[in-house]
Amino acid sequence: MRIFALAIALLAFSTPSFARSHAGAHRRHSNTTQVYKECKTPGHFALTFDDGPWEYEPKVVQDLEGKGVLGTFFVNGDNYACIYDYADQLQSIFDAGHIIGSHTWTHRDINEVSPEELESEMGKIEVALKKILGIRPKLFRPPYGQYNDTNVRILKQRGYSTIDWSLDAGDALGETPEYSKAQYDAQAALFPAPGVSLMHETINTTAYEVLPYAIEVLQAAGYQLVTLPVCLGLKPYDYITGKETRNESWKC
């Protein structure tokens, strides 16, 4: 029976599942070597979360910290909510040691925008994170997992490393929690193969069902759950002069 269950889990893991947020999108990108998809060290695994900040983020952080784990959060400026309305929440998770990365200002497909529009999307979220946290992120996750050589090159010129994933929990695709859990069962069976997973802090069942299960099954398999900078050996931020005091400019 256990062999059968493992076979089902491995089949689920091998089925392609590509991220999207509110609207569907098929991933279109080149085979660029400048994009990171898994950790460098066997036995390391990074849990990452997209599309926030949002109301389920505190529960995600509670799940992580209850097991002594730090996560990586790729945030938007004006997607589910205005980032300035969640400034205190963002500051709290940053102070706790979780990593904050960029996910563009409005979650636009960067394959569908001009270079000038991409620069604007990146610049606006940079301004917000400088005001709120006093940092400029160096890690970037493209919305919908969409990228090409041109925009990866633009991002690199701005100082970013582009981050993909090796395991998609499928939560933004509307997959069931059982489906998402099966992806982690399959990953556990592959230990010590390293990886990076994609989840969304904006999904209720991710925070309350899938993430606690994922942490438990991965740690039981022997994985060390690490942040992306540890996973990839990359610097997470350029620190600037310090955060601002909230003022009338803190609005979307």
* Strands 44-50 and 167-168, sheet pairing: unpaired
Catalytic-labelled residue, pool 29, 44, 98, 200: 200
CATH of 2-21+34-239, one of 3.40.1050.10, 3.20.20.370, 3.40.50.1970, 1.10.4080.10: 3.20.20.370
Residue 7: is its pLDDT beyond 70? no
Per-residue pLDDT, 17: 33
Per-residue pLDDT, 28: 56
Per-residue pLDDT, 58: 95
pTM: 0.88
H or E element at residue 212: helix 211-221
Per-residue pLDDT, 25: 44
Residue 170: is its pLDDT beyond 50? yes
Q: Show the tokens assigned to 14.
A: 């091998």
Task: Determine contact, residues 23/144, Cβ cutoff 8 Å.
Answer: no
Residue 18: is its pLDDT beyond 90? no
Place of tokens 């398999």: 221
| Exposure b/e, 210-242, CB count within 10 A at least 16 = b | bbbbbbebbbebebbbbbbbbbbeeebbeeeee
Per-residue pLDDT, 242: 84
The question of whether 50 is a catalytic residue gets the answer yes
Per-residue pLDDT, 2: 37
The question of whether 200 is a catalytic residue gets the answer yes
Catalytic-labelled residue, pool 29, 44, 50, 107: 50
Distance CA 113, CA 228 (A): 27
Provide the 3-class DSSP secondary structure of residue 112.
helix
Provide the 3-class DSSP secondary structure of residue 84.
helix
Residue 37: is its pLDDT beyond 50? yes
